[in-house]
Amino acid sequence: MVDTRTQPVPKSGVESHRFAEKDLYRLAEKHGTPYYLIDEATLRRKVNEIEQAFQEFKGAFRVAYSMKANFNPSVIRIFVGEGILFDITAPSELYFLLKCGGTPENVLYTSITETLAEYDSVLKLGVRRIVVASHNGLNNLIEAAGRAEAEVEVMVRVNPEVHVKAELRGSLKHGKFGMQLDGDNQDAALPVLKKILSTPGLKFEGFHFHLGSQVEDQECYAEAIEKLEGFILRARKEIGEFGVNTIDIGGGLPVSYGRVVPTPKDLGTKIVGQLNSLMESLGVKFTLVAESGRYLSAEAMILVSRIVNVKDFGENRYVYLDAGYNVLLDAALLKHEYPVEVIPGGPSTYPKTVLVGRLCDPLDIFPTSSRSKLGGAETGKLVVFRDAGAYSIVMNMPFHSQPKPCVLMRNAHGNYLMARERQDVHALFLEEGGNLLDGKPSTD
Ligand SMILES: Cc1ncc(COP(=O)(O)O)c(C=O)c1O
């Protein structure tokens, strides 16, 4: 019943998952459009691909899932079942993880805000590994750890300030994330490291960096590791020997999106030798962690929408969908091009087909190129956006009073399950304040 054909993408070796057209139409009739559809087998395969890529590493290797990419509970539960770690950034993400059967032992907590309240809350729930990125953050952690009477493993998040070629850059002058390796103020890596090493109740665990998302030139990882090694050697000279149990190289593994991009294996080939030498030069065996959100989730999900109108304007054909950037925000925000396909396809008879969303906003146009297959676009047909599993449903918004679409999942047995129900317009109305139409006494 289920067609599991896969389409090889040249060189990268990445498979983009396929569903049978008749199944997509059947699901559209049953559940309406737009809808998202996740494939469990692809989620699991992605974990395995990353693990395989680092097989030559001589220490332990762990994959972590960055929940920010897709926090659908069914997705989280599958990754919990894979026994991997979780990169978590907010107490609310921890709530999701624990509800889905995850355990605090498998959490790497990497906050942006590093507040006392946040550390109080996650330590109370049993998290014991925290990544710090500022002097104030460390002080908050010390106070929270004292209150919780907890021994905490602390990692130092650095920004190696290397040039990153990526869709989203997290290094170089992006000082929002991490600490300077050679800075001389209290927020630089060295004073923070010293304080961790000298604070009872804290155990220094290792280093963390995150260079960006959709990193297409992997040289920056090698440069970052080299800079980190230099820092560790300098720090040891100044403050004496200290161990390094974990090095976390963050996320950024790129997704093909129909193009040729480096694979996890390419990254492994590039940096595993360097990491093995680093272990030798430091005289320690550390655990290597790769945190991925995009690579683990993107190819496992498609967005299915319907063509609701077509219009000729000059030589161009405008194709109107019942979906807009409210369900695929990066299309507008980053001009991100998802591989798009009209199904069933047909010949292209127009010089240009413009795929537009249903929102009353000139920005609501889906970027397409010759990689998209738009021939045969007619009212009533379905349009599939592939590789849409990362940073999509997590950014759903109700612009134009649009309820959230449903999320379906094809499980490992080929059965289709509901993973998030379509939001009812009345539920949205209430959520937006419809339950307070007649006002409610203010609490102040
Ligand atoms: C600290 C950290 N780790 C990992 C990731 C995941 O990145 P990606 O989805 O590109 O793998 C992010 C994304 O923002 C991040 O901030």
In the chain (444 residues long), the average pLDDT of successive 10-residue segments reads: 34 55 98 98 98 98 98 98 98 98 98 98 98 98 97 98 87 86 94 98 97 95 97 97 97 95 97 98 96 98 98 96 97 94 93 96 94 95 98 97 98 96 97 89 72
Determine the distance separating the centroid of ligand 1 and the alpha carbon of 412, expressed in angstroms: 27
Compute, in angstroms, the gap from residue 209 CA to the centroid of ligand 1. 10
294 CB less than 6 Å from ligand 1?
Answer: yes
One-letter amino acid of 406: C
Rounded to the nearest whole angstrom, what is the distance from the C-alpha of residue 183 to the centroid of ligand 1?
A: 24
> In 10 A of CB 334, how many CB atoms?
14
DSSP 375: T
Helix (H, G, I), strand (E, B) or coil at 259: coil
Q: Match 């992997």 to its residue by tokens.
A: 218
Q: What is the pLDDT of residue 440?
A: 76
Q: Please state which CATH number belongs to domain 6-39+298-431.
A: 2.40.37.10
Task: Decide: helix, strand or coil at residue 129.
Answer: strand
CATH 3.20.20.10 intervals, the chain: 103-292
Contacts of 349 (CB under 8 A, 6+ apart): 375
How remote is the CA of residue 352 from the centroid of ligand 1, in Å? 36
The whole-angstrom separation of Cα 148 and Cα 409 is 40
CATH code at 103-292: 3.20.20.10
Question: Contact, 295 vs 369, CB < 8 A?
Answer: no
- Residue 192: half-sphere exposure toward Cβ, Cα within 13 Å: 30
Confirm if 420 and 327 have CB atoms less than 8 A apart.
no
Length of the chain counted residue by residue: 444
**Residue 347 CB-density burial (10 A; 0-12 exposed, 13-18 middle, 19+ buried):** exposed
pLDDT recorded at residue 120: 98
Indicate if ligand 1 lies below 6 Å from the C-beta of 293. yes
Determine the Cα–Cα distance for residues 198 and 64; give it in Å rounded to an integer: 29
Q: Is 69 in the pocket of ligand 1 (CB under 6 A)?
A: yes
Pocket test for ligand 1, best of 62, 210, 392 (most atoms within 8 A of CB): 210
129, 291, 333: residue to mutate for ligand 1 pocket, most atoms within 8 A of CB:
291
CA nearest ligand 1 atom 16, residue: 210
Looking at the CA of residue 293, tell me the nearest atom of ligand 1.
Answer: 9
93 CA to middle of ligand 1, Å? 14
Query: Which residue's CA is minimally distant from atom 7 of ligand 1?
Result: 251
pTM reported for the whole predicted model = 0.94
Predicted local distance difference test score (pLDDT) of residue 196 = 98
What does the buried/exposed string (b/e) look like for 52-75 if buried means 16 or more CB atoms within 10 Å of the residue's CB?
Answer: ebbeebebebbbbbbbbbbbbbbb
Beta strand segments in 69-159, E:
85-88, 107-110, 129-132, 152-159
Q: Evaluate the CA torsion angle 47, 372, 262, 20 in order and state its sign.
A: positive
Q: Is 180 exposed, middle or buried (0-12, 13-18, 19+ CB in 10 A)?
A: middle
Who's near 79: CB < 8 A, 6+ residues apart? 43, 47, 65, 86, 296
Ligand 1 atom 12, closest CA: 251
Q: Is the minimum distance from the CB of 292 to ligand 1 under 6 angstroms?
A: yes
Q: Is 396 in the pocket of ligand 1 (CB under 6 A)?
A: no
pLDDT of res. 74: 98
How far, in Å, CA of 267 to CA of 291, rounded? 13
Output the pLDDT for position 143: 98
Ligand 1, atom 5, lies closest to the CA of 251
Q: Which atom of ligand 1 is nearest to the CA of 208?
A: 1
C-alpha distance from residue 439 to each of 431, 435, 444 (Å): 14, 9, 14
Residues of CATH 2.40.37.10 domain(s) within the chain? 6-39+298-431
